[in-house]
A = this chain, B = another copy of it.
Amino acid sequence: MPRWVKEIKPAPPSLDDHSGDLDRLKRSLHQECGLEQVCVDLETIQSLPAMIRDSAYRLRLALFQDREKTFITGMDPAGSTKPVLGLAVDLGTTRYVLQLVDLETGAVLASADHGNPQSRIGPDILTRIHHAGQKGGTQELQTMLIQDLQAGIEKLCRENGLDHRRISNLALAGNTAMTHLFLGLDTRWLIREPYVPVLNDPGLCRASEIGLDLGPLAAVYCFPNAGSYFGGDLFAGILDAGLDESNEISLLVDVGTNAEVVLGNKDWLIGCAGAAGPALEGGVSEIGKPAGPGIIERVGIDAQTLEFNLQTISNQPPLGICGSGFIDLAAGLFICGLLDARGKFVTDKDPERFVKREGQDCLVLVQASQSGNGQDLLIGQAEIDSLIRSKAAMYTILETLTASVGLTFEQVDRFCVAGTFGQYIDPESAISIGMLPDLPLEIFHTLGNSSLGGATRLLQEPESLDIVSRTRDRMTYLELNVNQEFMNEFSAARFLPHTDRNRFPSVVRKLKTRN
């Protein structure tokens, strides 16, 4: 399998061939690797004459490309036993994940995740963008991030007996704002009409240009974005899901801070992203707590006995509930009749389960005696309402996107759910509340961190660069205008599972079985 590491044999000079060392290297790259426009920086050229002579004119090069140019990112004598490392980075607003890859074999060597240090400035992107707009703010945010990344990278390498100076290729996937801040680019215009990024295709730059201390020739590739709300994380996800490589029609939903949705196959791709206007403020993932020990991730409710079966992370006494558990809970409550079609608690069905707090009905999910912190774990009606808005937004976005190309959900062959929030969602529960369409469970696939997966694949398979470029060129971006039609759809989706129950036959069947 082709890799970013290549062995080449530039011709030795002779009295008949006076061309320079660099000329012979470039000729070799052309003849042996088919490469034309290779950028060899001065530092490489300075070390070239001694290196090619010491290595008897056999070199092992690390290469990295974007759609315009090829960089030499590492150079050793052929046969060197030193590893050539790649680093995949999923740069999220809240957390980032690092993954080390052996560029010769493609093997994943180690990974680690960390909180995004910019959270100190603000947990959400908007706060950071406002901060970046102040004098020196962009650089402050960039420096904060780069220093944390550098420390994280060095720690990960150290713990695995590796040298961070052997990292030659870094592939980074992040949303548009995070990618801008990583590169030290002005984010102000992302949130002001007409909402344009500084660039859509950062391509390659030298790691040293952004202050990262990796291999001396290391280069950084940032996945492209298509506008302010459709980021590199999603292009990495499309690569990871192989959306662009199949005849099958796939839907990819990345449920992170925003919902980002792509529909298509190898012939066409259409995507949309973002909370669709103020009506949907809060996005789709506001509910629940981050995963952690004692957090409820699975909920089952026995439709006959109304008994709750809770599963916590690490089997610790319950402290809270995360998104996937919350969706399970709402689905269970609805199927067993404790939530009505409007999403309101049916308190008289099991009065002992409910209390009033500040005039609001609350479900006692866990009693104080059994919780991890000695307090009742309550779910308020307002939180359920928020979930309903979120699920309605998600369904409406899926519906709008699918309808925009004249398709129905039934024509979708594969439904990929990715993202930090999405990867734990039980599709059956999500269908029960009408968040995801009522399709056969076997077509749902959870991808996990598809942004990291795509970045990793780019380091493993040089051809994937073409896939990303092609994807970006072929992507149609659907602007989710919150028009009357969208709002009508949204309103209809604010019922459980939907005002039009015919769309959810499996849910209707379940409801019929309840007592």
How many copies of the polypeptide does the oligomer hold? Answer: 2
Kindly state the separation between the CA atoms of A22 and B14 in the bound complex, as whole angstroms: 45
Contacts A194-B15, A209-B42 given: A23-B199 contact, CB under 8 Å? yes
CB-CB nearest in chain B for A176: B20
A205 lies within 8 A of chain B by Cβ: yes
Chain A, interface SS category: loop
Query: Which residues between 19 and 68 of chain A lie within 8 Å of chain B, taking CB atoms?
Result: 19-23, 37, 41-43, 45-46, 48-50, 68
A interface residue numbers (CB < 8 A to B): 13-15, 17-23, 37, 41-43, 45-46, 48-50, 68-69, 138, 183-186, 188-189, 193-201, 205, 209-210, 226-228, 477
Residues of B with C-beta under 8 A to A13:
189, 194, 196
Nearest chain B CB to A15 CB, angstrom units? 5
Min CB gap A92→B, angstroms: 22
B37 engages A68 (CB within 8 Å):
yes
Residue contact A20 to B193, C-beta cutoff 8 Å:
no
Residues of B within 8 A of A19 (CB): 196, 200
Shortest Cβ distance from residue A22 to the other chain B in the assembled complex, whole angstroms: 4
- Give the residues in chain B near A210, CB-CB below 8 Å: 42
A13–B24 CA distance with the chains assembled, in angstroms: 45
Q: How far, in whole Å, are A57 and B171 apart by their CA atoms in the complex?
A: 32
User: Across the interface, do B193 and A15 meet the contact criterion of CB distance under 8 Å?
Assistant: yes
Q: Which of A197, A201, A227 has the most CB of B within 10 A?
A: A197
Do the beta carbons of A20 and B68 come within 8 Å of each other? no
In the complex, A378→B183 CA distance in Å? 70
Point out the residues of chain B lying under 8 angstroms from A198, CB to CB: 20-22, 45, 48-49
Find the residue from A22, A42, A199 having the highest chain B CB count within 10 A: A199
Of the candidates B193, B201, B209, B227, the one whose C-beta lies within 8 Å of that of A41 is: B209
Set B14, B22, B186, B477: member contacting A18, Cβ < 8 A? B477
Query: In the docked arrangement, what's the CA distance between A18 and B197, Å?
Result: 8
Of the residues B18, B50, B226, contact of A195 by C-beta under 8 Å: B18
Could you list some 28 contacts between A and B, CB below 8 A? A13-B189, A13-B194, A14-B194, A15-B194, A17-B194, A18-B196, A18-B226, A18-B227, A20-B196, A20-B197, A20-B199, A20-B200, A21-B189, A21-B196, A21-B197, A22-B199, A23-B199, A23-B201, A37-B68, A37-B69, A41-B205, A41-B209, A42-B209, A45-B185, A46-B184, A46-B185, A49-B185, A50-B186
Instruction: Point out the residues of chain B lying under 8 angstroms from A22, CB to CB.
Output: 198-200
Q: CA–CA, A189 to B46, complex, Å?
A: 13
Please name the residue on chain B nearest to A25 by beta carbon.
B199
Task: Give the contacting residue for A49; candidates B68, B188, B195, B209; CB below 8 A.
Answer: B188
Question: In the bound complex, how far is the Cα of B194 from the Cα of A41, in angstroms?
Answer: 25
Complex formed: what's the CA distance from A22 to B226 in Å?
13
